[in-house]
Amino acid sequence: MKIPGIVYIHGFNSSPQSAKARQLLAFCERLGLGGRLCVPALHHHPRQAIAQLRAAIAELGGRPVLVGSSLGGYYATHLAERHGLKALLINPAVNPHRLLFDAYLGPQTNLYSGERWELTEDHVRALAELEVTPPADAERFQVWLQTGDETLDYRQAQAFYQGCTLRIEEGGDHGFQGFAERLPELLAFAGIPVAAADLPEH
């Protein structure tokens, strides 16, 4: 059986150097799966970011599983619906063009690369182009939320993805505390079995 690929989609002003991306990469490399994981450094403009992600999906081949955090969850939802893929979403943004991004218009700095750029109305319009309705095939989605998310109201995602498998944990934060310990569950959702010997030590 061919092992499915995984595309990790980072969030707003983030990068492949984020904690979750590095934890997932280290875990996959430990299992000899590093070649099946793609973590693109996304362009700040949604249209270019989506083009990068479509290229990553095509490069992995087959039907890769999408793992999206925050804004990456919004991108993952769009791509999963358009291409019939599975997606695991971590504190995902829900229709950010409607509720979030107007407050961020203006100069931006990537938290990891230091790149400076300008968030414009065109970015917001491009996000609106990606809007989809709540998933029709809920079995393809799993959504991990923490109620202590200081950036997004978890209840918006809870309502939008109500038909999907929801994991709602009390406390935590936007970065999703305890992510590393849940990586075997992520791989299980992707259809990649993990032996007990490979589980993280506690």
The region of weakest confidence among 15-24, 39-48, 95-104 is 95-104
pLDDT digits (tens, 9 = 90+) for 159-182: 999 999 999 999 999 999 999 999
Q: Are 104 and 84 in contact (CB under 8 A)?
A: no
pLDDT above 90 covers a percentage of the chain that reads: 85
Residue 21 has pLDDT above 80, yes or no: yes
pLDDT digits (tens, 9 = 90+) for 114-157: 999 999 999 999 999 999 999 989 999 999 999 999 999 999 99
Q: Are 74 and 157 in contact (CB under 8 A)?
A: no
For the chain, give the longest Cα–Cα distance.
50
- Please state the φ and ψ torsions of residue 157, each to the nearest 5 degrees: -70, -40
Question: Under CATH, domain 6-190 is a member of which superfamily?
Answer: Alpha/Beta hydrolase fold, catalytic domain (3.40.50.1820)
> Domain residues of the chain, as ranges?
6-190
Residue 166 parent element (H or E): strand 165-169
- Please state the φ and ψ torsions of residue 107, each to the nearest 5 degrees: -65, 140
Residue 196 has pLDDT above 60, yes or no: no
pLDDT of 100: 65
- Please state the φ and ψ torsions of residue 168, each to the nearest 5 degrees: -115, 120
pLDDT of 102: 65
d(CA 48, CA 106) in angstroms, rounded, equals 19
Average pLDDT of every residue of the chain = 92
Residue 81 CA from chain centroid, whole number: 14
Residue 55 parent element (H or E): helix 46-60
**Tokens 């989605």 found at:** 141
What's the predicted TM-score (pTM) here? 0.94
